Amino acid sequence: MNRFSYTVGLIFIFSFFILYSPKTSNLSNNVDLHQQLLIPLQKEERCDLFSGHWVQDLRDSQYTNVSCPSIPESKNCFMQGRPDSGFLQWRWKPDGCELPRFDPRTFFEIVRGKTMAFIGDSVARNHVESLLCLLSSEEMPLGIYKDTEDRSRTWYFPDSNFTLMVIWTRFLVLDEERLINGSATGVFDLHLDKMDRNWANKLPEIDYAILSDAHWFFRKNYLYENGKKIGCIFCGDPGIKILEIDSALQMVIKVVLNYINNCKRCRNILTVLRTFSPAHFANGAWDTGGSCNRTHPLGEKEIDLASLDWKIRSIQVEEIKSVRPVARWKKFEVLDVTKAMLMRPDGHPNSYWGNKWMKGYNDCVHWCLPGPIDAWNDFLIALLRRHTSL
């Protein structure tokens, strides 16, 4: 697929899914798993959790599309008719250690009395939906807030006094959509010196911030600093510096991490930057029959580590490494999902996402629930445990 088709596909599919993705609304405790997770992970802490491969695992998923009541219809691939289930029978195996399955009891012990916010676009929402399903076997939350478009939501788990948020943002920084005769254009002005207040205003009450960004950069955007236009993506305008997606994203990530690091009113926040989640359109773009109908993962030698996906991931990792030496009392981690998810073209809804208005168009961006996205929460709890005595 050429880069233009890839770009156009992401522009359309994300604009539609973010605006119109259906809304989100029990398994027994696994004592053995809970005890396993309480063992200090000394070897794991020396291990790169994100360098590994998928191995077959015939154990059942930790939840089903029946046991979890909050799966949105667009991610409920089995309800939408997906006939195969073999894509669930894989787990991520780091090269130098084992990655335990997510355990909700341990998670609640770690986050007791805390607030966690997932800050990003509809893929961040997809991640939260996975977490809600994994937690549902231990405790069902109370929904205490949602905005008028159901983009941002807050849940409260009373037994553990834990608050979970998803805060929707396109770019993390302030954006303004350009209008022509009052109509939206899909072109945005990004202001690098101003944060999106949707999340920045809430930062002082957050203990764990799970950030993600990048998908909305696959379109024409203009970047500003102190009111001055400093460049653009996909614009081709004369006299304006043309920026590559990864370069523009790096500017944004840098200022966002610096903002968090310099936030004087914020708690001793743990910021986790989740790296880019790749799309897998094959044999066409979104509007020319592009699909993702594989039923098995790819091998490590089948993925392209010279791709734009990997370049985006690399600058995200680089910016976390850059902020750590100057971090004050705050902590920064990377949730590096890109390599693992490059191998999982089988995990998307594809045609099984249930939108009757878009027959023939496939979702190769988001992830089925249950599905390989659940591994993101295996990674997340492992990172959290590195910052707790549990």
User: Rounded distance, CA 318 to CA 254, Å?
Assistant: 10
User: Rounded distance, CA 81 to CA 65, Å?
Assistant: 12
CB 390 within 8 A of CB 110: yes
Q: Is 366 known to be catalytic? A: yes
The DSSP code for 372 is G
User: Rounded distance, CA 104 to CA 117, Å?
Assistant: 17
- pLDDT bin (cut points 50, 70, 90) of residue 37 is very low
Largest Cα span, the chain: 64
pLDDT in tens, 154-196: 999 999 999 999 999 999 999 999 999 999 999 999 999 999 9
pLDDT in tens, 345-359: 999 999 999 977 777
Mean pLDDT, the chain, whole residue set: 90
pLDDT at 6: 43
pLDDT in tens, 119-132: 999 999 999 999 99
Which residues, 6 or more positions from 199, have their beta carbon under 8 angstroms from its beta carbon?
117, 119, 167, 169, 172, 209
Q: How many CB atoms lie within 10 A of CB 2?
A: 8
- pLDDT bin (cut points 50, 70, 90) of residue 360 is confident
Identified catalytic residue from 191, 280, 348, 366: 366
Q: What are the counts of helices (DSSP H) followed by strands (DSSP E) for the chain?
A: 10, 13
Residue 29 has pLDDT above 70, yes or no: no
pLDDT at 390: 66
Q: What is the mean pLDDT of residues 196-207?
A: 98
For residue 376, give both structure tokens: 């993101």
Q: How far is CA 9 from CA 6, 20, 228, 287, in A?
A: 5, 16, 30, 7
Minimal CA–CA distance to 323: which of 361, 359, 269, 389?
269
Q: Is 363 known to be catalytic? A: yes
pLDDT at 8: 42
- pLDDT bin (cut points 50, 70, 90) of residue 25 is very low
Q: Is 122 known to be catalytic? A: yes
pTM to 2 decimals?
A: 0.89
User: Rounded distance, CA 66 to CA 63, Å?
Assistant: 8
- pLDDT bin (cut points 50, 70, 90) of residue 46 is confident
Residue 174: its H or E element: strand 173-180
pLDDT in tens, 257-310: 999 999 999 988 999 999 999 999 999 876 788 999 999 999 999 999 999 999
End-to-end Cα distance, the chain: 46
| CB burial string 151-170: b at 16+ within 10 A, e below | bbbbbbbeebebbbbbbbbb
Residue 26 has pLDDT above 80, yes or no: no
pLDDT at 54: 98
Identified catalytic residue from 61, 70, 122, 351: 122
pLDDT at 31: 42
Identified catalytic residue from 309, 346, 363, 378: 363
